[in-house]
Structure formats: C-alpha cells, structure tokens
Amino acid sequence: MKTTKDNYLRFSFIVGFLVWLSATVLFRVAGQYFFIVGNPSVMVGLYIILIPALGFISTSVFNKFNLTHLESIKSAAIMVLPGMLLDTLCIQFFEKLFPNMPESYSKSFASWLMFAYSVVLISGLLRKKQQNQS
C-alpha cells in the first residue's frame, strides 16, 4: 500500500506542469506589458522575483511531504521537467505562441526560463537534511 509520501514525485510533476501552464498563459495574454526587454530595471526585477516565488513553491512541496535532502533533489528535477520539455517548443515557435511580443525577445525569454529552472533545482540542492521524525 502506498503512503502519502510515495506520491511526492507525481505531485511534483503536477505542480511543475501547472506552474508552466500558468506562466505560459500569462505570457501569451499579457507578456507585452511586463516582459520589457529594453528596460534593464524591469528585467532585473523579473529575474529577482523568481527567487522567492519559485523558492516558496518548491519548498512548499518539499515541506508538504517532509522530504529528505535526496528526495528534495528528485522532486525539484521532476518539477522542472514538464516545463523544460514544453518550453523547448515555446522557444522554437516563440513568434506563433507569443504573437504579442517581438521575436527578438525570444533569447531573453529563454534566458529567463533557464534561470527559473535553475532556481527550482538549486532550492532542491540547498535543502537542509531533515531529521527523522518518530
């Protein structure tokens, strides 16, 4: 019989997919209003905001299942997997998927995505080892 903790990989995948879907829809609908590549302050802000936002999401998953250090690393890898796979298509077909933004933004978009995935992976790597709770 599976325990609740056995579902953490499935849950991590679903969370990763939902974050990807939400962000993709947001960029599709309103990316031109906040992803302003020509404004360094806005772009720095967008990079910085990823750290607490994605750190909070990933840490919440780790805490929900009381994951060990190794389990947190696995969870983080599974969380970024759906987005990394699907964003290969988003970047390749940027002008069709995001007609509201110039195609020249695709490089900055790809860079921002790589940073986002790195934040989640680093949050798994930096997770402190949990003490066994009995």
Assigned domain for 49 exists: yes
Mean pLDDT, rounded, for 8-25: 98
Assigned domain for 56 exists: yes
pTM beyond cutoff 0.85: yes
pLDDT tens sequence across 20-60? 999 999 999 999 999 999 999 999 999 999 999 999 999 99
Assigned domain for 131 exists: no
| Torsion angle defined by CA atoms of residues 109, 112, 116 and 121, in that order, rounded to the nearest 10 degrees | 110
DSSP string, 81-127: HHHHHHHHHHHHTHHHH-TTS-GGGHHHHHHHHHHHHHHHHHHHHTP
Assigned domain for 134 exists: no
Contact indicator for 75, 8 with CB cutoff of 8 Å: yes
Assigned domain for 130 exists: no
Counting the structural domains of the chain, the total is: 1
Which residue range(s) make up the domain with 88?
4-125
